[in-house]
Structure 1
Amino acid sequence: FKFMLLGGSTGLGVRSVGGSTGLGVRSAVGSTGLGVRSVGGSTGFGVTSVGGSTGLGVTSVGGSTGLGVTSVGGSTGLGVTSVGGSTGLGSCLLLCPCEK
């Protein structure tokens, strides 16, 4: 079933604002376990993290990714592109010396 919880936490809820979700789809200013998006928090395997960090996420803005594809203003471990940050084994690093 779907429900919303404000300022708390949900176990399997769809949305949590100001709290955390276990497997929720979205968490704002909190954290998700396997959530799709986390804003101002962190995701475990989330697709997008803004202002936080992702474990295996695809995109991280203003944070860092473990194996993410793109990191803007942060750093990636094995990322493909990093803008304004650093990559470990990335293909291209913008705003820094880049060897092709």
Structure 2
Amino acid sequence: MRTLKPGWMPICLLLLCVVCSSSWAANTPCSGKKGGIARCDGELFLCNDGSISASKKSCSSIYGSKSQARPQAFVQDAEGCACGTGSFCTGPRGGVYCLTPAGNKSYRRK
């Protein structure tokens, strides 16, 4: 049986750490270009870029919101459904979204 030389141990350990840390970071709501979690909007995560996260996790249960989740109002007027207000618009094909500060639609996961 062949054994590894002592010089390979640090390299293997480093590769293991890199693989583990990258898989852990990918499971965070609002990760990547979204810039992290700004705050909770009821059960949803509001990201720093103004969009809502597609995470299935409950923000208020993780961070312990002091107030209860407010009812989500569905509005027909696109000006009344900004992300973070608790109001959402319904698109022509049934998608539920809010508008980010940049004016882009951020769809809620079904």
Under a length normalisation based on structure 2, what TM-score does the superposition of the two structures give? 0.24
Quick check: which one's helix share is greater? 2
Indicate the structure (1 or 2) with the bigger Cα radius of gyration. 2
- Could you say which structure has the greater relative contact order, defined with CA pairs below 8 angstroms and 6 or more residues apart? 2
Higher strand proportion, which one? 1
